[in-house]
Structure 1
Amino acid sequence: MNQENKQLRYGWTTGACATAAAKAAYLAIHNGFFLDCVEITLPSGKKVLFSVLKKELISTDCAIASVIKDAGDDPDVTHGAEIVVQVKRIAHGAGVVFKAGKGVGTVTKSGLPLAVGEPAINPVPRQMMINALSEVVDDPDVEVTVGVTNGEAIALKTMNPRLGILGGLSILGTTGIVVPFSCAAWIASIHRGIDVARAANIDHLIASTGNVSEKAAQKIYDAPETALIEMGDFAGGVLKYIKTHPVKKLTLAGGVAKMTKLAQGHLDLHSKRSSVDLELLAEWVAQLGASTAMVEQVKTANTTAEVFAFCQGVVPLGDFVAQKALEIVKQVLDPVSIEIAIFLFDRQSKCHGKIVG
């Protein structure tokens, strides 16, 4: 629900759109003409209807169809993208063969659900397409080439390059449905990043809340890009996955406000879902020996950054917050034992606190 309590509109994954386009193209080959709309079945069994944009009957054995992705009210970078699928009959017994068209990436690193060299069309969308094509003809023998118009450029706004998916976007989705602001895609990308790093035998990961903290931490450790995890606000998403997929060392790096939230027990660091408790922060400053005047100043501060600014050089607030954050992290990971480092940076990349434990 949004702030006005209105129901947010759900959307469709790239996998669902590719399935609809593939079925439309195969139906055109089978019937000799295109339908304006095509119905597919989602993994849940729900049936949904998609409008077909591009309709090209290349020959009696080949056709191209496209569907425009509608992500609903989710701020998805692929919203409005054209998913283009070519379906071509191939030799009997070959089954369904998937290829990456223009704008769809290719897997180049281990650790993903697909083998190196495979087109970045995830397992569930593949099965959705196989099921949809089988509704047209039993045991189809076809080559399915999935592309995304302008997909190479759109992919640069995603985590694909870091995951080793090169040349375009991934065709994704486990339900076929995009839930607005569910954050599921981001958390899934975090998990895949950890998987890729572990497959590359990287034993030290750096999870950061943003670009500034990431670059600062990377510089300290001279870490390879594969070791970098863009966690954003999802500290819990990182820690809970690391607990079941451990590495030798994990560094968490972030801005002073977000890391203070973590130190105060929040695992979701988004401003709409957690905030810094200034009263508690004032108690910490008092424990560090600050004057009564400074403690009162903390209670009435406008921002956490302001607190760190006037505490700088007076009390070691940064290291204290890092210690508190370390305690929270260890509680979440317990009983798994991993070497943890915590860094707090400001917007100018200056380190305000750190601890390794």
Structure 2
Amino acid sequence: MAKLELYIPVGRQKLRCGYTTGTCAAAAAAGAAARLLTGETLPAVRIATPAGVAVEAELLRHAAGEGWAACAVRKDGGDDPDVTDGALIFARVERADTPGIIIDGGEGVGRVTLPGLDQPVGAAAINSTPRRMIAEQLESAAAKAGYTGGLRAVISVPEGEALAKRTFNPRMGIVGGISILGTSGIVRPMSEAALIDSLYLEMDQRRAAGVEDLLLTPGNYGESFAREVLGLNLHRWCMCSNYLGAAIDHAAGAGFRSVLVVGHLGKLIKAAAGCMNTHSKTADARRETLTAHAALAGADRALLRALFDSLTTDAGVELLKQAGLLGPVMASIGEALDGQLKRRAGEGLAIEALFFSNQYGILGKTPGAERLLALHRAEPDGETAGG
């Protein structure tokens, strides 16, 4: 069967769209309901998505028994595949004793264990839009077959528990498998948007758990340093990846009281220059920023040239250390970082930062960082642990 032939421009390329796990689940439910209610084994189904795009999905692994039928759809991530690309999404549909539509998750579909997500605690991690899509397909199949009783659909993903370990689900308190997602039904090959959406979800979950003071790290280096070197607990922690500016904006809007950023110098030196998306494709001002602050601290021309030619910030730190300028330069970077962060956060959100090197340890802090460090070393009162 031909793949979804829908393309969008991304930069200089045209990338092919795919369809979400929610669309897969709805299509599989449509096929299983048709088999159950009419006895017909359909090779494929065509369903409308909320994006207004019709998707034709091939139906695989047909099975049926007394009062039930099942089939599967293979996830197509298009040119922006995530960890679920190629996974089989199954739907088993059975007649129910009570009227209406019941939707639940089976093997490989996670369960929500913490508040703040799309579904309540205890529910299968099948979001609202996929639930609506599945229900619409079951209602349509029942109407065509003249069936007026109830139907129960169970969505499963045999690989889901293993796949979930490569997603944000464990940190968000979704256990046992993946989430069935998709607000539009279509996967658009823009992974940045998906990452930011996941970050916002995690932050919202922390806020729903009562967290007011947030700990942010750009990546695993920051998380490890915060836990192992600084002795911080991670009850209030989120990883913001390259999207520091987006995280600060969301924290301000979500009503957090403070944000403490702990990151490697290689990341936060970019923020000190005003680059709040730290991906190298967006901005990589590390050597320019380091050189500029060294010049402000009185470095000579030879040192400035050596700093400008450094391949890493750690190499630059070693040069500054040898020249006796490490302290003044890091202090200058810390002052610039403090200004950029407070300008982005605005009046209502307290924000501080600490930056480090794996080789040299703590390199600098913003003026109020010690207060927030002490707060994050203490056990939070009445907050739900996570992360």
Who is 1:118 aligned against? 123
**Does the 8 Å contact 2:354/2:365 carry over to 1?**
yes
Change over 3 Å in CA distance of 1:347–1:221 after alignment to 2: closer
1:333 aligns with 2:345: yes
**Does the 8 Å contact 1:320/1:353 carry over to 2?**
no
Who is 2:58 aligned against? 51
Q: 2:287 aligns with which of 268, 278, 292?
A: 278
Letter in 1 for 2:268: M
Report deviation, 1:91. Answer: 2.5
Cα distance in 1 for partners of 2:61, 2:245 equals 42
- Report 1:206-225 matches (<5 A): 206-219=215-228, 220-224=230-234
Report deviation, 1:66. Answer: 0.7
Cα distance in 2 for partners of 1:306, 1:115 equals 49
Who is 1:128 aligned against? 133
**SS of 2:122 mapped into structure 1:** coil
1:343 aligns with 2:354: yes
Q: How many positions carry a matched residue from both structures?
A: 352
Who is 1:167 aligned against? 176
1:22 aligns with 2:29: yes
1:315 aligns with 2:318: no
Q: 1:293-321 CA distances to partner (integer Å, 9 max, x unpaired)? A: 22232223233332223223523233432
Q: Which runs of 5+ in 2 are unaligned?
A: 1-8, 369-387
Q: 2:71 aligns with which of 65, 70, 73?
A: 65
Cα distance in 2 for partners of 1:157, 1:221 equals 26
Report deviation, 1:107. Answer: 0.4
Who is 2:382 aligned against? none
Cα distance in 1 for partners of 2:346, 2:270 equals 20
**Does the 8 Å contact 1:107/1:117 carry over to 2?**
yes
Who is 2:45 aligned against? 38
Report deviation, 1:204. Answer: 2.3
Report deviation, 1:2. Answer: 7.3
My pick for the range that moved more, 162-171 or 263-272, is: 263-272
Who is 1:87 aligned against? 93
TM-score under structure 1 normalisation? 0.92
Q: 1:66-88 CA distances to partner (integer Å, 9 max, x unpaired)? A: 11111111141111111111111
Cα distance in 1 for partners of 2:357, 2:167 equals 25
Letter in 2 for 1:333: A
Cα distance in 2 for partners of 1:342, 1:111 equals 26
The percent identity for this pair of structures is 33
Q: Which runs of 5+ in 1 are unaligned?
A: none
Who is 1:352 aligned against? 363
Letter in 2 for 1:178: V
Q: 1:244 aligns with which of 239, 250, 253?
A: 253
Runs of 4+ in 1 over 4 A off after TM superposition: none
My pick for the range that moved more, 156-165 or 134-143, is: 134-143
Cα distance in 1 for partners of 2:154, 2:134 equals 11
Cα distance in 2 for partners of 1:245, 1:266 equals 22
Change over 3 Å in CA distance of 1:119–1:353 after alignment to 2: same
Who is 2:276 aligned against? 267
**Does the 8 Å contact 2:258/2:349 carry over to 1?**
no
Report deviation, 1:325. Answer: 2.2
**Does the 8 Å contact 1:87/1:144 carry over to 2?**
yes
Report deviation, 1:247. Answer: 1.6
Cα distance in 2 for partners of 1:343, 1:149 equals 43
Cα distance in 2 for partners of 1:10, 1:347 equals 40
My pick for the range that moved more, 63-72 or 249-258, is: 249-258
**Does the 8 Å contact 1:151/1:168 carry over to 2?**
yes
Who is 2:107 aligned against? 102
Report deviation, 1:221. Answer: 4.8
TM-score under structure 2 normalisation? 0.85
Letter in 2 for 1:336: G
Cα distance in 2 for partners of 1:251, 1:140 equals 55
**SS of 2:137 mapped into structure 1:** helix
Cα distance in 2 for partners of 1:64, 1:160 equals 26
**Does the 8 Å contact 1:259/1:321 carry over to 2?**
no
Q: 2:241 aligns with which of 232, 236, 256?
A: 232
Report deviation, 1:277. Answer: 5.5
Letter in 1 for 2:335: Q
**Does the 8 Å contact 2:272/2:334 carry over to 1?**
yes
My pick for the range that moved more, 295-304 or 128-137, is: 295-304
